[in-house]
Structure 1
Amino acid sequence: MAKNMNSVGLFLAISLIGCLITLSHQETAPCALKKYNTGLVCVCNSHYCDYLDDPTPSEEFVFAAVSSSKAGLRFATTHGQFNLYKKYYIFDHDQLLGRSMQAPAGGSAQIEVDREKRWQKTQGFTGSISDSIEHILQNFPKTLQKHIYQSFFTELGIGVDFMRNLGSGVGEHYLKNSNAIFGSWERGEQFAHALLQNLEKDPNERINCNTLLDQEHGDAPMIANTTNHNEVYKQPLFYTMGHFTKFIAGGSVRIAADNKNPDVDALAFLKPDNSVVVVILNRNSFSVDVGIQDTYRGAVLFKIPPKSIHTVLYV
């Protein structure tokens, strides 16, 4: 396929011509948000838990962008096409349409994706269940235990590979001896930033952390309510982790994703099925215009909200 070499010109053209409003939505079952003074969590119980089908498109020049944010997006999905000379607005959970469009972006980033520049293959991501977690689970209804398992270790969930007795990893560094902070976006963001940096150096970087703990024994992607044994809470960390584990399959190859904005992190992978995954983390406290220029597919431009992470999927 011919490569599109006029990346800068195309990016500027998209920036100047029009906009495209697309409302994000959950593909399968949306998060049931619960607000704490320290942030937002998603509640799972015996009757309900949020899930997401993999929205990777099969058609060329079509993309799906999966988004999570501090304000409350949790795997919200936006669909669109490359090369429409439009800007896709990813609206935050607490944003009004008019206010979102009027507010100027505080910066911009252009990500140059080149699947011909390749590094090592990944081996996938693993998570651990300890004896203490199994003891916690014994006190919960069987249907909720099933939701917990499915949320981590199936395709409907975030697709973590199960393994015991892991060595050190990214999660251990940030969560060891940490008290649970309900809804802490900062902790999830720190985890994602560290993982992006480490994956750039070593695509076989491990995610090693307990999948589930109670609120008295440390932080984890999911916190169990051991007072009523009827609810568990998915932390922002669960979703920032899922932006990697759900969409970057074992055997994926890291490919070039050049980006000169130091406050917008980006990494790209080519999966075994030849689809592309681009993970983008906006650590700024303001919206940012982000353009993806792919040597095979052309260009697409987004306006992404502050404090947010996005996984862009296309073939």
Structure 2
Amino acid sequence: TAVSLGDWSRAVRYINNIFQNFDHWVVGYLDWNIALDEHGGPTGSSKVTLEASVIINATSGEFYKQPIFYALGHFSKFTQPGSKKDNITIKQDSLGVSEGNYKEMLAMNVSSTASPFPTRQPDPPSNTVLALATDNPDGSHTLIVYNP
């Protein structure tokens, strides 16, 4: 079976999984495959089709960045080494639309210090807004929000 190019369903699972991992004291996240061929290989079984951030077409010499590439990219670009997770609460009913049609959201830090404790329970992919806030070593702050 061929890999499904451009399919966001696997990326959505990665996004939810990463948020769940951060809620349970993870200090690193590693993806099993960085690049595979169009058939999801090489793999130890012909019955398994794997996905990767990058799919390589060796025949044409092309490569394709999959949605997983962009999903992982947001976390790796905006989460600095040495940052500490903040304990935040997202009020789901605080979402609104401003005059410019931009979504607005209230995120509230319920403590003044970074917390290693989970802010939500593990669950299947969510239909609610997910957020990760960090205090960075340089004194800046990061807020990553996923609104499915």
TM-score (normalizing by structure 1): 0.32
Match of 2:38 among 202, 215, 219: 215
Q: Which amino acid aligns with 2:16?
A: H
Q: Which residue of 1 aligns with 2:69?
A: 238
Could you tell me how far apart the structure 1 residues matched to 2:13 and 2:139 are? 30
Q: Which residue of 1 aligns with 2:144?
A: 279
Q: Which amino acid aligns with 1:198?
A: N
Match of 1:227 among 48, 59, 69: 59
Q: Which residue of 2 aligns with 1:199?
A: 22
Q: Which amino acid aligns with 2:25?
A: D
Cα distance per residue 1:208-233 (max 9 Å; x no partner): 3211111112310000011211x111
Q: Which amino acid aligns with 1:190?
A: R
Could you tell me how far apart the structure 2 residues matched to 1:200 and 1:259 are? 14
Compare CA radii of gyration and give the structure with the larger one.
1
Q: Which residue of 2 aligns with 1:188?
A: 11
Q: Which amino acid aligns with 2:15?
A: A
Give how far 1:234 is off. Answer: 0.4
For 1:69-84, what aligned pairs fall within 5 Å after superposition?
none
- DSSP 3-state at the match of 1:203: coil
Quote the sequence identity (%): 33
Highest relative contact order (Cα 8 Å, sep 6+), 1 or 2?
1
Cα distance per residue 1:225-253 (max 9 Å; x no partner): 11211x11101100100111112121100
Q: Which amino acid aligns with 2:70?
A: Y
- Give the root-mean-square deviation of aligned CA atoms: 1.7
* Matching of residue 257 in structure 1 with residue 88 in structure 2: yes
Q: Specify every segment of 5 or more residues in structure 1 that has no aligned partner in the other structure, as ranges.
A: 1-177, 284-315
Give how far 1:203 is off. Answer: 3.3
Give how far 1:187 is off. Answer: 0.9
Could you tell me how far apart the structure 2 residues matched to 1:274 and 1:179 are? 46
Q: Which residue of 2 aligns with 1:247?
A: 78
Cα distance per residue 1:286-313 (max 9 Å; x no partner): xxxxxxxxxxxxxxxxxxxxxxxxxxxx
Q: Specify every segment of 5 or more residues in structure 2 that has no aligned partner in the other structure, as ranges.
A: 42-49, 93-126
Any conservation in 2 of the 1:256–1:268 contact (CA below 8 Å)?
yes
- DSSP 3-state at the match of 2:131: strand
